[in-house]
Amino acid sequence: MATTKAREDIKNDLKTLKEDLKVGAREETQRLREKASEAEALVREKSEEARERARAYYEQARTRGREYYDDAAERFDEAQRYVVERVQERPVQSTAIALGVGVVLGMLLAGRRR
């Protein structure tokens, strides 16, 4: 009889342990879900911050690029006007210089072919 009582006690203890494990597992599962939700929200927040930072950098780079392009275009126009004015002032000298540059470039390119 003592053995049956001991067996019953062990069965009850095992049953209680099983229930405790189920409850613990449910609680732990819920806690992990909450942590996962928190982590997901944090990742979304950080990715949105990174996206906004990237947009700001892009806009800044685009603005600077446009400024550099406009500056270069303005300088090119100035250089072009300068050259045109000098050619109009001295057409014969400009033609001779252009011919000389052409001959030198021709000789350089012809020398590479040999």
pLDDT for 72-97, tens place per residue?
A: 999 999 999 998 998 899 999 989 99
Task: Provide the domain limits for residue 90.
Answer: 2-113
The SS3 assignment for 114 reads coil
What are the structure tokens assigned to 43, written together? 């990742």
Task: Give the pLDDT band (50/70/90) at residue 48.
Answer: very high
What pLDDT shows up at residue 32? 93
Taking the complete model, does pTM exceed 0.75, yes or no? no
- CA distances to 21, 41, 80, 108 from 105, rounded to whole Å, are 89, 65, 21, 5
pLDDT at 114 over 60: no
DSSP 2: H
Please state the domain count of the chain: 1
Instruction: Give the position of tokens 């942590």.
Output: 35
Residue 75 · residue 67 · CB < 8 Å = no
